[in-house]
Amino acid sequence: MLYLGIDQHAKQLTISLRDEAGDIRLRRQVSTQPERCAEFFTKLNEKATAEGGYIAIVEVCGFNDWLLAILPQYGCAKTVLIQPTKKLKIKTDRRDAHALSELLWTNRDRMRDGLPITGARQVVLPTKHHAESQRITLLRKDAGRMRTKATNRIKHILRRHNLQWQMPTKTFPSVKAIAWLKTLSLPPVQRQEMDWQLEELERWTKRMNDLEVIIINQCQGDAMVDRIRTIPGCAHYSALSLVCRVGDPHRFPKGKSLAHYWGLTPGVNDSGEGTGRRGRITKAGSTMARWVLAQITLHCLRHDPVMKAWYKPIKNRRGSKIARVAVMRKLAVIIRNMMVHEQTYQECRDAMLNRRKRQLAANKPAA
């Protein structure tokens, strides 16, 4: 068996190939041009066939899709995808590829036994349906951000001329307010800028509406999405964003495992006698999942009196920001339990809070 480490960039792949003894068999760079990649991986497959095949390891990045698709076509027995590690002071592409192949070689026995690798945070590849859902929800988030940016620029033009008081509606954007802005008298340059921003607002609003239709169609027949939608303030977009970033919920042995996976648990910095030092949350997982959970948290605190009653004591002790993160972590635990036990939000929330009360009562010293 051969062990292939790939440091991927936009224009080239840096390759490090080891044999079963751990010795380097090949070090080189390969252009990402399709014909060059096809030529290299064809020769690699011919060489590896005589030695039992090969396994590849790649760091996750924003353009892994094409590489992960072609590796099985050229005889790769397994592809391991990991999150990038912290950057070293001395860093080159060759060093990175060398470290990846070494990591793969040292974990060869664990992979034969079907165990996860050690020394890196392994990424589980999503299914085709979940990968499409992840992309759609990211496009929806970007469209919402661009629409908000166009709205803020329009408001800024009005503030420069102190015209915000003349807007016919209190909320913006609205049909009446947009019609008023199209006929508003402004200096020539500002009038042209206003027209451009109105066009941008209309374009991004249309894209958001189109994506909402696609998201609703993507959710059809998905029982997990329907259960997640029982959370206050969680519609199709938020539910699909979370479900497609969980994948198989049974790979998380406990509810807090999902909170840790999404980077919502505090970091630890223990050394010597200084133990129990807890820092900020690790932010090690999906930024999109944390962002959606932050939006859902605001709705839960408005519409769920039970969660709000749990939130208030933490807010009084530690402040609102830390308390909201605690609610996000609690929601991650509830979401995992909802998906595993096939229960609604209210059932999982009440079961978790009752379990916590029993634990506190059991640990309370007798009077």
Cis peptide before 266 (omega within 30 of 0): no
From CA 328, how far away is CA 293, in angstroms rounded? 6
pLDDT at 363 over 90: no
HSE toward the beta carbon, residue 246, CA cutoff 13 A: 29
At residue 220 the predicted structure's pLDDT band, cuts being 50, 70 and 90, is: very high
The amino acid at 44: L
Q: Please give the pLDDT value at position 20.
A: 92
Q: What is the mean pLDDT of the chain?
A: 91
Task: Spell out the domain ranges in the chain.
Answer: 2-123, 128-219, 223-359
pLDDT digits 0-9 by tens, 154-184: 999 999 999 999 999 999 999 999 999 999 9
For range 124-135, the mean pLDDT: 92
SS3 assignment, position 272: coil
pLDDT of residue 91: 77
Helix (H, G, I), strand (E, B) or coil at 170: coil
* Res 366 pLDDT > 70: no
50 pLDDT higher than 80: yes
Helix axes 236-243, 128-160, angle to 10 degrees: 130
Name 324's Cβ contacts closer than 8 Å, sequence gap at least 6.
294, 297, 298, 301, 311
Averaged pLDDT, 36-49: 94
For residues 263 and 285, give the distance between their C-alpha atoms in angstroms, rounded to a whole number.
5
Distance of CA 24 to the CA centre of its chain: 35
Q: Does residue 219 have a pLDDT over 90?
A: yes
As a whole number of angstroms, the distance between CA 300 and CA 290 comes to 15
Least confident of 33-42, 132-141, 262-271: 262-271
Q: What is the mean pLDDT of residues 38-59?
A: 93
Residue (of 211, 208, 235) closest to 292 by Cα position:
235
Residue 102 is encoded by which pair of tokens? 């070494």
> What pLDDT score does 112 carry?
87
Residue 289: closest CA among 323, 329, 245: 245
Cβ pair 14, 25 in contact under 8 A: no
Model confidence pLDDT, tens digit, residues 105-128: 999 999 888 888 888 888 888 899
What confidence score (pLDDT) does residue 361 get?
Answer: 84
Can you tell me whether residue 362 is helix, strand or coil? helix
Question: For the chain, how long is the longest CA-to-CA vector?
Answer: 80
Residue 10 corresponds to which tokens in the numbers above? 């936009």
Task: Tell me how far apart the alpha carbons of residues 349 and 252 are, in angstroms, rounded to a whole number.
Answer: 18
> Which pLDDT score is estimated for 275?
64
Residue 22 has pLDDT above 80, yes or no: yes
Q: How would DSSP label each residue in 2-41?
A: EEEEEEE-SSEEEEEEE-TTS-EEEEEEEE-SHHHHHHHH
Is pLDDT above 70 for 286? Answer: yes
What is the band of 33 on the pLDDT scale with cuts at 50, 70, 90?
very high
Q: How confident is the model at residue 272 (pLDDT cuts 50, 70, 90)?
A: low
**What gap in Å lies between CA 136 and CA 223, rounded to an integer?**
19
Q: Is the pLDDT of residue 209 over 80?
A: yes
Q: What is the CATH number of domain 2-123?
A: 3.30.420
The pLDDT score that the predictor gives to residue 276 is 65
Give the predicted TM-score (pTM) of the model: 0.85
| Predicted pLDDT at 122 | 84
Task: For residues 228-242, give the mean pLDDT.
Answer: 95
Residue found by looking up tokens 């760091």 in the block: 59
Residue recorded with tokens 């189109």? 210
Percent of the chain with pLDDT over 90: 77
Residue 89 pLDDT greater than 90, yes or no: no
